[in-house]
Amino acid sequence: MSERFEKQVAELIVDALNLDVEPEDIRPEEPMFGEGLGLDSIDALELAMAISKKYGFQLRSDDGDNANIFASLRSLSAHIAENAK
């Protein structure tokens, strides 16, 4: 996973969710939901829409997989890199 790609995803997150932080302030391993960035389920849907628009694939969660994809900026970036069209 390139740092550059992670930064691109961080920019997408900040932009899509109207977050009050700079993209470079998001630590790649920091949890995004609950503590950490404090995102919630509205954000997950919002992010899903932004990701499908920009990277051309629709997020889906297998049983229990949801938590893994959204665990951190790093895991989300990896998931996008794997699935992007």
Partner 1 sequence: MIPLLQSHRQPVAWNRHGPIDGRTFLGDVYHLSERLPTTGNAILNVCEDRYRFLVTLTAGLVCKRPNLLPPSTVPEALKQVVSDRERPVCVTDGVPCPEGVACVEFHEPPGCSAPSERIPAFSGDQIMAEVFTSGSTGRPRSNPKRWGEMVSGATRIGRRLGLDQDERGSLVATVPPQHMFGLETSIMLGLRWGWGFHTGRPFFPRNLAEALSEVPEPRILITTPLHLRACIAEKTALPGLRFILSATAPLSTEMARTAERQFGCPVQEIYGSTETGAMASRRSAEGTGWEPFEGFRIHREGSHWLAEADHLSRPVRLDDRLKENGDGTLELLGRTADLVKIAGKRGSLGDLNHKLHSIDGVEDGTFLVPHASDGDVHRLAAVVVAPTRTKRELLQELGKRIDPVFLPRPLQCVKALPRNASGKLSRERLLKLLSKT
Q: Point out which residues bind partner 1 (CB under 8 A).
A: 17-21, 25, 34-35, 38-42, 44-45, 48-49, 52-53, 58-61, 64, 66
- Quick one: 24 or 25, whose CB is closer to partner 1? 25
- Quick one: 4 or 42, whose CB is closer to partner 1? 42
Between CA 41 and CA 1 the distance in angstroms is 26
Shortest distance in whole angstroms from residue 1 CB to partner 1? 22
DSSP string, 34-70: SSTT-B-HHHHHHHHHHHHHHHS------TTTHHHHT
